[in-house]
Every structure is written in structure tokens, then in C-alpha cells.
Structure 1
């Protein structure tokens, strides 16, 4: 059944009503020419039917379903019967900055059970969103994906009240690459006052890319396309040719990057003027409640890929560079000696180094500056591939967050099918969803007695498993050895 027309700043839109939830898909929030800043879409006067997802952002495997000129759309799920403005979850998808889209996340179940208004967005990916060409004559081509997300946030600020949402109660959230985007976005002056809380799931260890690295990527892509002397010509390169060139450059560059990925938000000094860690440390977000989460076996998916992802080698190299070969061997021995029966100690060491410890460091910075922060780890193995064979690896929490209990949902862009959930899946997912919705509504994922906030000297880590429980992060042999090696490294650096 179609909804009534809902006004927006561009024109009225029609959605569909399903099981008490109004759904608006493929709502344009901006348009953009290649390597240019996003601008508002052309206004319309007749009600626009928004019942199907918009075009995918161009990406490997989906260039035939993509439209680079009109991929900037968002999707909204809003309860049909509301008597007050509802809190809003603004979600940025992951995909290593090169794949994904809002169509992989059906927010109908979360909207109904909040109640809340759920928004998922598209943003430009790969070279179209992250190739930094502003120093090569294309003046607008810097941090375009971040600017896209800002444009979507602005659209929500201006329009979400028409859908029953509270523009003054927006939670900025994302998973994986989307978590990096959310963290970067949260620290920008341009986003100030447009959200009141932030949730980041499985953000990589490095949430920001250096300008030097971005310049190197751009130079190599231009050289690969033989356009060094005419960089502007890249704006007319056919998409398959552009993405093939980027893939070739990416394979050669992956081992040279901090995170094993070629793209990401860039510390360019303009769109992103400061390192997000420094903004947190200075207390500029102390009034923003923050939830940082990760999965227990984050690195298993990347370890099992063929060949293993570049971040595996990069992470080991970084630990060896920080603590020396002897320090690495001590860590490896400690993880072997303390491994669970079902644990791969090498994977556990890498997961701590690349995912868990950087998130804990961000939590410490925010807490030390006076901010409210909660830290979690998802230990449940969903009965769905790849988790059945790889455990609670990267994305396990995300699969449960977006599940429509008692079923996991299909992911059309990732080409992953959903399926029925086990009783354990339902139990853990229901607890996780309830915590997220409570955070969106109140700024706290649970009552303080059940899940205390992360504070200096007190570092509770919430474990989503059976049962849900709290463990101290700053205890145990592994934590002690990391602390010893880190302190020694700091002493040697200042000596």
C-alpha cells in the first residue's frame, strides 16, 4: 500500500507501508558529476514514487547495476503510527570503501521495535569517492565520499521531521569502513550540532588516511591510465577501465598502507582538518555519547581469504616495527600459551593489534576527556555463513543487528543470502538490537548496573554472547604484556 505524499526540500515523495512501517527507498539527497562535489537534486513538484532502492554506487561486480550520476540516495523506515518525534539511526555501510550500499540493510524490524526512524545511505565508492585529485587540477576532488555523507546528514537534518523523526536526536553510526566514516564525520566542524550520539562497529585500526598516501594513490592511478600530463581526462574514462586501473594499482600498493586498504577518508586539511584521535583527546566531543564495538575473531575472515588480505602482513609488520622481533615473539608465545581450545592464537593476536586495541585506545581518549563511552565485543557465532565456518568474525554483529527475527536478511549487494536463526542467534541478536535501540533513544546502551561506562582505571568490556556479561579489559596476561611492551617502546622513543 502506498503512503500519502511526504514533503521534502526537493519535492514530495511516496513510499510503501508494510506491517505498520512506512518505507521510502531511493530518495535522492544529492546528485554529482564525476569528481565534483555533490549538489542538491533538481526539485520536482509531482509526488515521486520511492518504493525501490536507488542505483548502486559504481563498484566492482556491480558496474552494470550502477549509476554514478544518481547513486546518491537514502532509504527511510519509519513507524506509521507515532505520537511524538522519534530518535533517528543514521547508518553508513561498510565494504572497505569500495563496495556496499544502503540496500543491504533493511531497517523495518529496527524501526518497528524501537520505535525509531532508520536511515541508510549510499555514498560514492572507490576512485569516485576517495581518489584525491584536487592537487592534479580537479579542484573539487577531495574527500568526496565524506562530503556525500555530510550532504546526506544535512538532508536528514532538514527533512526527517516530515517522516516522524527528531532532527535533534540523530545517532551517527556505521560498520567497518562505515564506522571509519562515522568517526571521521563525527569529528568534523561541518557536522557539529547535526547528531547527538555515535556508534562505530568494527572500525579499522586506522580510521584516517594520510594526504601523502592519497597523493601517491592518485599519481599511480593517473600513471596507470597514462594521463599524468592530462589529469582532467580521467573524468571521461569508461567506468570498467577506471576500476580495472585502480584494481591493478591497489594490488601493488596494499602492502604499503597502514590498514592494508588503498582508500579511506583523508586528512586533507580542509574537509577533514584534524586527525579524529586528536579531536577526541581534546575533548571536543565530550558531550557526545560514544559506543565502540568489535567482533571477537575480526581477522579470521581476512586470514581465510585467498590470498590472505594484505592487512594480515601489514599488521604483523607494524607490531614488529613497534616492539622488535623479540617483542613479536613474546606476544606470539603469550597468545599460544593462553589460547582457548577453539582459538587461533595468531588470529587473536592480529585481531587485538588491528581492531580491539585501537578501539580501546579511542575509548580511553574519549573517557579521559570526560566523554561517556561504552566498549563491546561480539562473541556469538551466527548460524550463517561465513560465520558458521569462521566464528564471530568481521560483520557477525552487523548480521545480527539487521536481522528480522527469527530470520537473517538477504544482502543483495554482497550477494549473501539470509536464513533462519537458531534460538541462540535470536537470544543474542535480540539483546544486541535492544542495546542499540536503547542507545539511539537514550544515549546509554543499558542501565549502568548491567553495563557500566568505560572510565579511566575502570575498563568494562561488554561481551555479547550467551550469556551477556561484563569482563575487565585491563586484566590478564595478554593485556599485561601489551602494556609492558608499549611502555618500553615509549621510553625508548623519548630516550
Structure 2
């Protein structure tokens, strides 16, 4: 059977045939560019659509993840990361020229599901070995898994409007990917009028943000949130000016800091991120990157706080599923050795002063509720029962 070839807006791409969990076959197309590489003058800026190419582009392998240090695999990606993977049941219509392809009004077009990965906005990717299609392609759908920029590369925000970096570049990456899907997915037998976006953890919060954003209106029709929402306090980020002292740039202007970051190797940006993380007492917070409320403009992602938008009811009014899973604290439990004092268990988003009477009382109540009379001066969580209780605590705390 011949490799599938599809024409998209920018040119032709070649995919390959793979096997789902039930032994059926589907077509996969990996590493399809939807945006220009956000490098040079485009670093930190809103994304621009991918340029056209000639010939047939090989899309049989994953593209690079966003530049990062992965907490488990220690892989480092690339700034050239604006690409997506498409998986589809597929038919021979792929092999026909564009002018002979049947348009999206025909009934056999499949529902489209678009996955947005988690990873605290600093880790993760659309890598097929992690977010592969083998289970979901056993159903009659088209799956798209997108990449977006992470860390400072995706979330740097400057208050100086002349720098043209208002923030939320990564969310604008997601919007651009959805626009690409709307333009091209019918060529993969996907229905552009039946698109569901879904995600887990910070991917779910990103889905929620897209539901609230006027910029994303009309680009999807349903949403599924797995284990987080946009009103999670740690989902909000800080501007460059707010981060300046923690970045060791307290005597620099915002423009000076921006120029340094713009011309620094990506490896240096990771070093700065590492310093920022270490200056935040609770390593699970990572509040230095995240959603920014922008000044009103035609290119803004959000200009009003999520809670205000939700209360107003002025958002993309679509069907939604919101939920969570049991034992979601399992991953944070890997870091449990860092949690040896009662004060660590006070939710940071309550903004209580450490050492205050209210802080100490709440620390006692939380720890007693979950752990009874646990002695945190000893090595914590050494037996199964204790470990499961910690898992339950972190499931509630984070998700």
C-alpha cells in the first residue's frame, strides 16, 4: 500500500501507515509545520503562519519538542517547535490531486479531536511515544496533537508596548494551530465543523483559556478538561518587570533585559528558568510563566481576568466536560522528600504570611486532617498507607 500524500495549504506532505491497538490501520503525519520557526526577530513574539514549500515534505517522524529540560527524560528540544501531528483512519482519496478531493460538506468526514499536552507550561510535547494515537484511532475519529512554546520562550511578557511582547505567545501558538486545522483538516477526512479540544493538567487549563478567549472563537465546537481549569492560581504568570529581581536583573530597564534575553542562547534561558524555580519555595508552583491579562488590542488573547469572563458569561458557549482522576498526586509524590515541614502543606495561593498565626493554624489543620499526628522531622511517607494519603493530599492540592 502506497504511503499517503496529502496537500495542505503550504504544500504536499507524505505520511505513513501505522497500526492501532485493535490491529486496524491508520495514516499518520508527524511534524507538520503550522507556524514559522519562532527564532531571531520572532523569538517571544506572536506566531506567524508557516511558509509554503515545494515538492513533497516528509512527515513520517516527530518534530522537535519546544526547548526544555524534561523532568523525567532530560531531553532538550528546539526553538523550531511549531508543528503538529495528524492521525486519521484515511482512505485512498489522499492520493488524488487537490482539485478532485471531495469537500467538507460530505457526510463521511470524521469528528476531530485536538490534544493539548500538559507539563506545567515548561515541559512536554506532542511526541507520539507519549501522546500516541493507537487507542483513540481505534475509534472513528481524526486526532491532532499539537506542540507549543514552553517556559520563557512561550510566556515572556513585557509591559513596554514598544517591545511588542504582551505575553501569551504559547496560547497564540495554540490558536494558530487551530486555524491551521480549520483550513486543512478536511484533507485528512476530518470535519472542520466538529472539532473537540481536550487536554490534561495544564493542557486542560489551556483548553479552558481557549474557551474564554475571543481570539479562538469559532475554531472549535466542544471541550474536555481533564484535571485542571483556568482559575487555578498557579496558571497565571508574571511580567518581565515583575521577574527582574529574581532574574538578577534588578538594576536593568525592561528593554535592557529584553535585549539580553532576545540575543541569549536558548541554553541560557533554561539556566534563568532554573534559577527562577529555585527561588520559589514550593517547587510545584512554577508561577513565573503563565497566562497574562493583556492590554486591549486586536491581537490580545485575553484582556479580562478568567474569573470575570466566567461570571459575565461572555465566552465561547460550547458543550464542555470537566473532570478529574483518582490518585493524580502520584507524580508529585516523586518529589515528596522535599515536603518535610507542616508549613509546606499550606496552599500557597491563599497568600498567608509564613510564620503568621493564621499560617501556623492552617498548617496544623491540613496536616492533621490528612496525616493525623505525623512527625515530619523523620523521613516521610515510608509505608504504603502513608504514601497513599500523601497521594490523596496532592491530588486535592494540585488538581
TM-score, structure 1 normalization: 0.62
Alignment of 1:171-186 (within 5 A): 171-186=196-211
1:50 aligns with 2:59: yes
Runs of 4+ in 1 over 6 A off after TM superposition: 224-227
Once residues 135 and 219 of structure 1 are traced to their aligned partners in structure 2, the CA distance between those partners, rounded to angstroms, is 17
CA-to-aligned-CA distance 1:417-443 (integer Å, 9 cap, x gap):
xxxxxxxxxxxxxxxxxxxxxxxxxxx
Deviates more, 1:199-208 or 1:29-38: 199-208
Q: Hey, what does 2:178 align to over in structure 1?
A: 153
Q: Hey, what does 1:66 align to over in structure 2?
A: 77
Q: Hey, what does 2:378 align to over in structure 1?
A: none
Aligned mate of 2:247, from 221, 230, 246: 221
Q: Hey, what does 2:396 align to over in structure 1?
A: 352
Once residues 25 and 46 of structure 1 are traced to their aligned partners in structure 2, the CA distance between those partners, rounded to angstroms, is 17
Q: Hey, what does 1:107 align to over in structure 2?
A: 133
5+ residue gaps, structure 2, are: 20-24, 94-106, 373-383
Alignment of 1:6-405 (within 5 A): 6-19=6-19, 20-31=25-36, 32-33=38-39, 34-60=43-69, 66-68=77-79, 70-81=80-91, 84-103=108-127, 104-111=130-137, 113-135=138-160, 138-140=163-165, 142-203=167-228, 206=232, 209-210=235-236, 215-217=241-243, 220-221=246-247, 223=249, 229=256, 231-255=258-282, 259-269=285-295, 270-285=300-315, 287-305=317-335, 307-308=337-338, 313=344, 315-318=346-349, 321=352, 325-326=360-361, 329-330=364-365, 332-335=367-370, 342=385, 344-345=388-389, 347-355=391-399
CA-to-aligned-CA distance 1:276-314 (integer Å, 9 cap, x gap):
33333333358422222223233343243165379x937
Q: Which one has a larger percent helix, Structure 1 or Structure 2?
A: 1
Once residues 359 and 276 of structure 2 are traced to their aligned partners in structure 1, the CA distance between those partners, rounded to angstroms, is 30
Deviation at 1:238, TM superposition (A): 1.2
Cα 1:115–1:127, aligned 2, differ >3 Å: closer, same or farther? same
Once residues 225 and 18 of structure 1 are traced to their aligned partners in structure 2, the CA distance between those partners, rounded to angstroms, is 55
CA-to-aligned-CA distance 1:55-79 (integer Å, 9 cap, x gap):
22110158975331x2100000000
Once residues 166 and 186 of structure 1 are traced to their aligned partners in structure 2, the CA distance between those partners, rounded to angstroms, is 19
CA-to-aligned-CA distance 1:327-359 (integer Å, 9 cap, x gap):
55445444458xxx946445534532442xxxx
Once residues 123 and 78 of structure 1 are traced to their aligned partners in structure 2, the CA distance between those partners, rounded to angstroms, is 21
TM-score, structure 2 normalization: 0.76
Once residues 251 and 201 of structure 2 are traced to their aligned partners in structure 1, the CA distance between those partners, rounded to angstroms, is 30
Secondary structure at 1:198's aligned position in 2? Answer: strand
Once residues 235 and 309 of structure 2 are traced to their aligned partners in structure 1, the CA distance between those partners, rounded to angstroms, is 16
CA-to-aligned-CA distance 1:132-172 (integer Å, 9 cap, x gap):
13538531351111111111011111111110111111111
Once residues 210 and 124 of structure 2 are traced to their aligned partners in structure 1, the CA distance between those partners, rounded to angstroms, is 19
Give me the CA root mean square deviation: 3.3
CA-to-aligned-CA distance 1:383-430 (integer Å, 9 cap, x gap):
xxxxxxxxxxxxxxxxxxxxxxxxxxxxxxxxxxxxxxxxxxxxxxxx
Aligned residue pairs, count: 348
> Are the aligned partners of 2:69 and 2:76 in contact in 1 as well (CA < 8 Å)?
no
Deviates more, 1:80-89 or 1:24-33: 80-89
> Are the aligned partners of 1:154 and 1:194 in contact in 2 as well (CA < 8 Å)?
yes
